[in-house]
Structure 1
Amino acid sequence: MNLIEYSDVEITSLWNDYAETRNIGLKKIANIKLNKLIEYLESKSKDDKRKFVEYLCNERFEKENIKDFQQPIVEKIILPIIVDAVENDEMPYLRWIYQLQLYSCCNYRNIYNIEYYNSEDILTRANNIDPSDIKTVILLVKVYMDRLWFGSHHLPEYILIEDKEVKFLLEKLNLLLDKYKNKIDSIKFILEDMKYYKDLYKSWFKYKSENEKITFIKWCENNEKTYSWIKSYYYDKKNRT
């Protein structure tokens, strides 16, 4: 847990005491100190809480100085502020609530509207509100690429995606990359992966249409196609703004 240097000296002291305790492995004591921090924050005005939440989110999502937030401070301090901003279509709060990855933790499952906060829809909304935010674009690219990967990860036995969705995902990617081609450092690698998936799915659907009584592996051999059936991908997080 990273230390901070915030304008409010008391908040800085309480956070750093909590962080240092957690860093040496005393998690139960750290949780008690986190609760003290939360109690102090709850005594502050809404504007003061918003300023601190904005500071924390900038430290985590923009500067990458903080790795994660614990559930109590997310639920009691961070989320109420971000949800209000999301309802007003404020950026970068629309992106930040997605980056909180609420759906990855079972403790957050009862949060109202959680599906929206973890969806392509909120990223699309974020992109519409602030088209200049490249971090949102990269997250959208990852959403579409992940769906292409997921659809193919059981190959060579079968796929989990239809031709119509493949075309939809590739079209979405093409539109984004054409618009932001000079803003994304990793575009070369993204285009390579797109080419891979486009050819892979084209081969699969052709194989199925021919209805041959051979395996897909054999069909690929016959047609001089070579694929790695589970393809991982990584995009550099440092993109030009």
Structure 2
Amino acid sequence: MYQQPQSLDCCGGLGNVDYSKVDFSAMAFLLSYVDVTDSIFGVTVFFIAFNPLFWNLVARWEHKTRALTRTFRSPYTACYSLAAVILLLNVLRSHCFTEAMKSQPKLDALDSLPAYYAGAGLVAVGVVFVLSSFLALGFVGTFLGDYFGILMEAKVTCFPFSILDNPMYWGSTAIYLGWALMLASPAGLLLTAVVALCYTIALCFEGPFTEEIYRQKAVKSQ
């Protein structure tokens, strides 16, 4: 969804992870407190996984066929229309995320003021990253304008891209994590892990594809 014309190297690290050395004890601990069979929890997991899959598939289809551009007779109108759908899906995901946390018990160890303030701090940091990323990329740059042929002139290197790759994704993840801490929700923490995993996988597909778009642009401009 939130695409930037910048080098992304997420796949290299992901592919070389030695999963035999990963400590899954924290995940197992959370699972012991979470009812994963709860319907709203399952719906939330669905939307967490579906949303990035949806915008990646639609954007690639548009890049290959220009079907949306032809339908709306403008790449900008087509991009705005897809952005509206993406925003609605993300609102629905966030609503389900909140309801999933409310439907399950709190974790006593997190139900404290320090954890609440830590969560509020994470939400604040996440909002800064999301908003500053949006301002740096603009609306079209944020919502996959590259795939509609609306390319940026140069790679974005200002804040927050100067300190973090993919700040829109990780800012959003920080907001979910902070919200889970503020509600002392083990379900929220587990769902945040799913968000981070899905974003990591999405970046492994988005990064190389976007790089190729700008590589082709550079070749044509020579």
Give the TM-score normalised by structure 2: 0.26
Determine which structure has greater relative contact order: mean sequence separation of CA pairs < 8 Å that are 6+ residues apart, divided by chain length: 2
Larger radius of gyration: 1
Instruction: Say which structure is richer in helix.
Output: 2
